[in-house]
């Protein structure tokens, strides 16, 4: 088979992983089953909570398990990897170093995508976990593209965490309108763009009846990158070439 195989480090969280797979399939220009992207998914919900460890290093470290999953996917035949979690990219270098195949970076891809639209100096509101926000990793990728990351006020951040942990992660009802309201608040505070920077929030994003052009979903960007890379590599006989 000359079609490159995508490996997905999933389970972080489980529902976001399922949505990521669905997004990839829907974005693939396929007329038949055989036109779709071969995927190997390790949906491992036993990976310790990323935000908990980032905020308190005495908590269980998710890094060893994620490295193990990455190596398993490579051994199973994956030609390139994607991680269905933004906060996990705090550990990106360690995961990438654990394997010999390319690992796509959701934050880097999203920052690149937004920069093409808003230009240097653009202000980007960040809706993400406490771990992502406080680590500053996403803001760093935005800065590399000449963008300014804007974090929510403390009260707003608590509302974001509630959507993530009390809603999607808890398999409980959530209000998509709350996501829109928070995004609009960041927009009103002078942001040129707002990024959905948590894959649980991406699950809510898919439920929106209308999606403003200034609202960017990081998981949607990563899914499109997976498709584009697959189509490009297929034309080269399956060589990822990254």
Contact between 130 and 242 (Cβ < 8 Å): no
Establish whether 198 is a catalytic residue: yes
Angle at 92 between CA 56 and CA 202, to 5 degrees: 85
Work out the number of other CB atoms within 10 angstroms of the CB of residue 72.
Answer: 16
Q: How many residues does the chain have?
A: 242
Closest to 73 measured CA to CA, from 110, 102, 31? 102
User: Sign of dihedral through CA atoms 135, 181, 219, 142?
Assistant: negative
Q: Catalytic pick from 180, 191, 198, 226?
A: 198
Whether residue 33 contacts residue 69, with contact meaning beta carbons closer than 8 Å, is answered with no
Q: How far is CA 98 from the centre of its chain?
A: 20
Work out the burial of residue 38: count CB atoms within 10 Å of its CB; fewer than 13 is exposed, 13-18 middle, 19 or more buried.
middle
- 85 catalytic? Reply is yes
Active-site residues, by number, are: 85, 198
């Amino acid at each position: 088979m000359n079609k490159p195989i995508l490996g997905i480090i999933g389970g972080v969280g489980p529902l976001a992983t399922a949505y990521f797979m669905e997004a990839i399939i829907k974005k693939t220009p396929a007329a038949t089953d055989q036109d779709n992207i071969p995927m190997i998914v390790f949906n491992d919900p036993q990976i310790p909570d990323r935000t908990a460890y980032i905020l308190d290093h005495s908590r269980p470290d998710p890094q060893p398990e994620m490295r193990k999953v990455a190596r398993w996917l490579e051994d199973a035949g994956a030609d390139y990897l994607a991680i269905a979690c933004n906060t996990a990219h705090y550990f990106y270098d360690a995961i990438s170093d654990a394997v010999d195949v390319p690992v796509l970076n959701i934050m880097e891809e999203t920052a690149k995508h937004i920069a093409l639209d808003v230009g240097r100096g653009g202000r980007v509101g960040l809706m993400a976990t406490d771990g992502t926000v406080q680590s500053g990793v996403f803001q760093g990728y935005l800065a590399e593209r000449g963008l300014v990351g804007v974090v929510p006020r403390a009260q707003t951040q608590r509302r974001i965490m509630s959507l993530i942990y009390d809603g999607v992660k808890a398999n409980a009802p959530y209000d998509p309108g709350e996501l829109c309201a928070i995004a609009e608040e960041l927009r009103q505070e002078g942001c040129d763009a707002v990024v959905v920077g948590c894959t649980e929030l991406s699950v809510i994003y898919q439920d929106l009846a209308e999606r403003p052009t200034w609202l960017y979903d990081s998981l949607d960007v990563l899914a499109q990158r997976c498709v584009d890379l697959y189509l490009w590599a297929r034309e080269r006989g399956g060589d990822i070439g990254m």
